[in-house]
Structure 1
Amino acid sequence: MPTLDEVNNKSAARLNGLNPAVRAGTVALIQRSYEKGVPIVITQGLRTIAEQNALYAQGRTKPGPIVTHARGGTSYHNYGLAVDFALLLPDGRSVSWDMNRDGDKDTRSDWQEVIQEAKKLGFDWGGDWSSFKDYSHLQMDFGLSTKQLQAGMRPTAQQVNNALRRIDGGDDEVNKDIKVTVTLNGKKLTDGVLDSDTAYVPVRALAEALGAKVTYDAKTKSVHIVKE
C-alpha cells in the first residue's frame, strides 16, 4: 500500500479552491480512511462553470454516458463545496469505483467505510439522494441551495468555523437525519436518531420504562441511573 504522504500527494492539486471547511474535511477524510486501511484519491474538487457545462454535454450533445444532471452554476462543485472520490488501489496508480470492494479484508465494504467517516466529518453523500444518485460525491452545502449560491450567497464565517470545529473534534454533534422508533416488548417507548450505526435515545424514557430512576448532577455533568 502507498504511504500516507503518497496518498495525500495524489489529491493535493484537487483541493485548491475548496471552501476551507470542505478542504479540511477532505484532508481529514483521506487520513481517516487511510488509517482504516482504505486509501482514497480525490478525483474532482472545484469545477469551473465551463467545465460543468462540458460535463453536462456528455451523453447529450457529446459522446459518452450521462454523468450529471447539473448545468454550469447548479453544482456545488462550482462553488468549492463538493468533492468526488475513488478508491486508490495497492499499486498506488489505479483507482476503483467498486462499492463492494473489501481491499482491507475486514468484511466491510471499503466504500461504506469511507462514507461513514465522511458523514462523521459533516459531509452529505450523493448516494443518499432520492433521484439521481452520485455515489462518489460528497458535499457541505451549509443549508444553501444552488440558486442561492448563484445569487451570490455564501456560507457565513460562523458556519465555516462550526464545521471546522466539528472536523477538529471539538463538536460531537449527532447527525439527526435518520429517525428511529424505540420499542419495549413491542410497544413504542420513545423516538431517537441513528448516527453511524449508533442509536441515540432519551435516557430518562428508557431508564424509567425499565423501572429505574434518573437524576442529573449539573455540577459534575453526570447522569445517575438507579434501579432498586
Structure 2
Amino acid sequence: MTVALRTLLDLSVKKMGKGMNPVVKASALEMVERAYNEGITVQISAGYRSLEEQANLYGQGRVYSYNGKNYSNLAKPIVTNAKPGQSYHNFGLAIDFFIVSDDGKKAIWTVNSKWQRVAAIGKELGFIWGGDWISFRDYPHLEMTGGLSYKQLQAGKKPHLTFKLEKMEMPKASKGDSHIISIQKTLNSRYKTNIEGDGFYGPKTRLALIKGLQTELNKQYNKKLIVDGKWGPKTKTATVTLKKGAAGYITWILQAALYMEGYSPGPLDGEFGEKTEMALYKYQKAKKMTADKQAGKETWNELLA
C-alpha cells in the first residue's frame, strides 16, 4: 500500500516546526505534492532550527561550546560546518528532505534519479539545492536566501522571496490549512480583497492582512492611511499597541498574523485572551524580541514587514 500524500504532508509540517518563512514552508509542501504526483514519495526531515539546536549539531565530532554551554559530542561524526547563526535553517529559510519507501516505513538516503528529480522540482519552485555546491555537497538541503547573507539576516533584514506557487496553477489535489482558508475568506468578505482561498500564507494573503490593518486603523483611529497593502513607515508608525483585554477587528488581524506564523492564538474571535497572550509571548521569545506580551510597533513590524 502506498503511503498517503496527506501523511507525507502532515509529517513534513511537523518536522519543519514553527518559525519557518511562510513562502519556504508552502513551497516545500508543494514540492512534496508535485513529487507525489510523479510517483515519488518524499518527506521533509528538517526545517527551522534554533541557535541552540544548531550548536548541538555543530558540536558533533568536535570540541565546541556556545554561550557558556558545552555542545561537544566526539562520539558522532561531523555533519555540518555551520555554527549557530550561520545556517539558513536558523532563519526558517531552509529545509532538508529524503525519499521514502512506497509504504512510508523506510527512509531512503541514496542520491538516485528520484532524489535528483525532487531537487529539480525544488529548484523550479525557487530553492537552491545543496547538491549543486562544489566545496561541500549537501544533497538533502534546499534553501531560499533572497540574496541575503547570514550577517544581513542576523542584523534583522528580511528576504523578499518570490512565491512561485501563485504564478502557477495549483494542483486540484492541493489542500492547504483549513484555518488559513477561513482567514482568507474573511479577508475577502470584510476588506474586499481578492485572494485565493488555498490555505497557504503567501505575499497576497500578507498584503490582504496589511490592507485590513490599514482599514481598521483609519476607521477606529482616524489615521488616514492609504489602503494599499504596503508596509511602509506611515503604516508602521500608525500601529497601536494591543494587550490582554483588547477586542475588535485589529485584534482579529493580530490573531490571524500569529496563526500564519505557526503560533495558535486559540479561536480567531477578535478577543485578546490568555491563549492569544501566550501565542504572542512565544512568538516574541522565538524572534528574540522584548517578550512583554503586548503587540506594539516592534511586533507588528516583525509580523507584517
- Shorter-chain TM range is 0.5 to 0.7
Q: Are residue 73 (structure 1) and residue 77 (structure 2) matched?
A: no
Q: Which residue of 1 aligns with 2:32?
A: 30
Structure 1 length-normalised TM: 0.66
The number of residues matched between the two structures is 157
Q: Are residue 151 (structure 1) and residue 151 (structure 2) matched?
A: no
Q: Are residue 85 (structure 1) and residue 97 (structure 2) matched?
A: yes
Asked whether the 8 Å contact 1:122–1:167 carries over to 2, the reply is no
Q: Which residue of 1 aligns with 2:120?
A: 116
Asked whether the 8 Å contact 1:42–1:83 carries over to 2, the reply is yes
SS at 1:77's partner residue? helix
Q: Which residue of 1 aligns with 2:3?
A: 2
Q: Which residue of 2 aligns with 1:169?
A: 167
Measured in 1, the distance between the counterparts of 2:166 and 2:120 equals 17
Measured in 2, the distance between the counterparts of 1:11 and 1:143 equals 25
Which runs of no fewer than 5 residues in structure 1 stay unpaired?
Answer: 101-108, 172-228
Q: Which residue of 1 aligns with 2:20?
A: 18
Per-residue deviation, residues 63-118 of structure 1 (Å, max 9, x unmatched): 21111000000000000000000011123122111012xxxxxxxx1001101100
Measured in 2, the distance between the counterparts of 1:54 and 1:83 equals 18
Cα 1:77–1:93, aligned 2, differ >3 Å: closer, same or farther? same
Tell me by how many angstroms 1:132 deviates. 1.3
More helix by share: 2
The amino acid that maps onto 1:42 is: I
The amino acid that maps onto 1:169 is: K
Structure with greater contact order relative to length (CA < 8 Å, sep ≥ 6): 1
More strand by share: 1
Match of 2:108 among 86, 91, 96: 96
Measured in 2, the distance between the counterparts of 1:149 and 1:9 equals 29
SS at 1:70's partner residue? coil
The alignment's C-alpha RMSD in Å is 1.4
Measured in 2, the distance between the counterparts of 1:170 and 1:6 equals 24
Tell me by how many angstroms 1:167 deviates. 2.1
The amino acid that maps onto 1:46 is: Y
Cα 1:68–1:36, aligned 2, differ >3 Å: closer, same or farther? same
Once structures 1 and 2 are overlaid, which stretch shifts more, 71-80 or 1-10?
1-10
The percentage of counterpart residues that share the same residue type is 44
What pairs with 1:209-220 in structure 2 (closer than 5 Å)? none
Asked whether the 8 Å contact 2:12–2:29 carries over to 1, the reply is no
The amino acid that maps onto 1:38 is: I
